[in-house]
Structure 1
Amino acid sequence: MGENKMNLILNTWIFESAVKEGTTQTELVDRVAKLGVDGIEVRREYFTDTAQETKSVGEHAKQQGLIVNYSVPDEVFLEDGTINPKLKQYFDEGSVMGISKIKFNTGHFDRFTGDLKEAFEGLPLDQIEMNVENDQTPVSGTVKAIKTFLDAAHDAGLVQLGYVYDLGNWGFTHGDAVQSAKDLAKYTHYIHLKNTIDQDGTMVTSDDLNTGMFDWKDIISYLPHDVSFALEYPMKDDEQILEQIKVFRAGVGE
């Protein structure tokens, strides 16, 4: 399931311009392999033919020896508090790709009234690590929303469930990135790194880890180190990506 050492993953948002020009995530698997990292995080919204592409991503990743993680832009709990019936489908798609981790947003857990253990029955939580992320919304992007859900999940025996600490998103929600790291460290299985620039009150994602409102090296000192880290911000070319990989490795002392 999860990897118990530091790994570096490239999220395919990095290649946003190439995706817009028609590059598939299968092609990006091969490109990522040449960049000397441990894995790729594919984004569901970038698939145009999900059934065909999940199969080919899985095949290419296996050939290249890459970890695959899956980012799904959907909520665990729907607006009425019921569990999302599509979760099984998303796990099935992930299984085809041989993924290690799958990521969602929490959604409306505050309206959930059922039995948590029962709600997650049938999902392969021992084979695929399931995490929720702080997104850029008031519903799923607060410490309270994430901690309330994960406290309840662990109390129900769902100790496999964890958290993706997304640094850049705290800029968009005006959350306290350091306090959030301290509060959620025990649940953190995965860290998304991007920095955020405040342009006269408008938040934009930086294309350089060292440029922005966050001291990422300080913040990760409050988080586990034996986890996967993903770079997740658009970059213009492979030269810049390699430079940012160096920035990351220097910052974590590799």
Structure 2
Amino acid sequence: MSEISRTVEHRADIVIVASAFGADAIRRDGHAVWAAAAARAGADGFEVRRELFASDADAQPEALAQLGQRIRAHGLWSVYSTPAMLFRDDGALDAAALSLAIDEASALEARIVKLQLGGTESGVATDPAALDRLMSGIAASSARVVVENGQLKAGGTIAAFAALFAALPAQSGLAMTFDTGNWHWAEQDPLDAAKRLAPHVGYVHCKAVMGEGARRFAVAPANGDARFATLLAHLPGDVPRGIEYPFIPGADVSLDADAARQVARVAAF
């Protein structure tokens, strides 16, 4: 069976990350307005970004519950993303950050709750006490808990993720968000990461990268991008794929039209 045929028959859910519509637009209008746009584009899910709330009031339980209801009214399920680190700068588990993220995701009724890995450039705590506390925290979550590779070497190296998952039991409840572009900022090989970490991936953030060094930026994968297609082929084909690059309206295409085009493109890879 061809990769295209597999995708058509067992298409992964496509999630639009709120920031794809522009951070300023989300802060100005609120997530619910743009969840409607995600639904019009044909997405299955919508990723709420805590850092794009206009104020802390948006993160209160009642506000999150109302937002969740509005997202579901559009036929979408939600991801709750927080910039909080699962592990502190000294490598220790931040159980309070995990608990807060889980509580907020629960109020939203999110299907997935996403944190950054954090830790040091050497990795994160993997001693039995830390792992027991981590698994106890995860067990309290109704949403699937995932940690994302960030753009810094602290929390963004293949070795840190490999060591953590090697230390955890197979049924720990923790999975990872595999961001296809962030590996470049952390000077890691995305394909090597996919080969080593695929069994632990529960969500994929899709983007290509242009530029070098600090001048890198996220862009849509090009049509027929063989490297991107190969990368996705090494990852689980049934986990949700999030679009995290900006939609670009133009003279001949509206923002809604580009969003719909990108949903179809990511689904077809």
TM range, smaller chain? 0.7 to 0.9
Residue 91 of structure 1 pairs with residue 102 of structure 2: yes
- Which secondary structure state, in structure 2, belongs to the residue aligned with residue 30 of structure 1? helix
Alignment partners' CA distance in 1, 2:85 and 2:225: 28
TM-fit CA distance, 1:5: 6.6
Query: For residues 205 and 196 of structure 2, what CA distance do their matches in structure 1 show?
Result: 17
Give the letter aligned to residue 40 of structure 1: F
| 1:1-254 to 2 correspondences below 5 Å | 6-16=12-22, 18-19=24-25, 22-47=28-53, 48=55, 49=57, 50-51=59-60, 52-84=62-94, 85-108=96-119, 110-111=124-125, 113=127, 114-124=129-139, 127-154=142-169, 157-158=171-172, 160-198=173-211, 202-206=215-219, 208-210=220-222, 215-236=227-248, 237-251=255-269
| Cα distance in 1, alignment partners of residues 137 and 213 from structure 2 | 48
Which amino acid in the other structure matches residue 37 of structure 1?
Answer: A
Structure 2 Cα separation of the partners of residues 168 and 69 of structure 1: 19
Amino acid of the structure 2 residue aligned with 1:164: T
**Residue pair 2:38, 2:259 contacting (<8 A) in 1 also:** no
CA distance in 1, matches of 2:161, 2:213: 29
Structure 1 gap segments, 5+ residues each: none
CA distance in 2, matches of 1:22, 1:210: 30
Q: Report how far residue 242 of structure 1 moved.
A: 1.4
After alignment, is 49-58 or 180-189 more displaced? 49-58
**TM-score, length basis structure 1:** 0.87
Q: Which amino acid aligns with 1:218?
A: T
Maintained 8 Å contact 1:195/1:205: yes
Contact 2:14 2:267 in 1 (8 A): no
- Number of aligned positions between the proteins: 245
Q: 1:211 to 1:139 in 2, by over 3 A?
A: farther
State the shift of 1:143 in Å. Answer: 0.5
Q: How high is the TM-score relative to the length of structure 2?
A: 0.82
State percent identity of aligned pairs.
24
| Contact preservation (8 Å) 2:79, 2:112 | yes
Q: Which runs of 5+ in 2 are unaligned?
A: 1-9, 249-254
Q: Which has the higher helix share?
A: 2
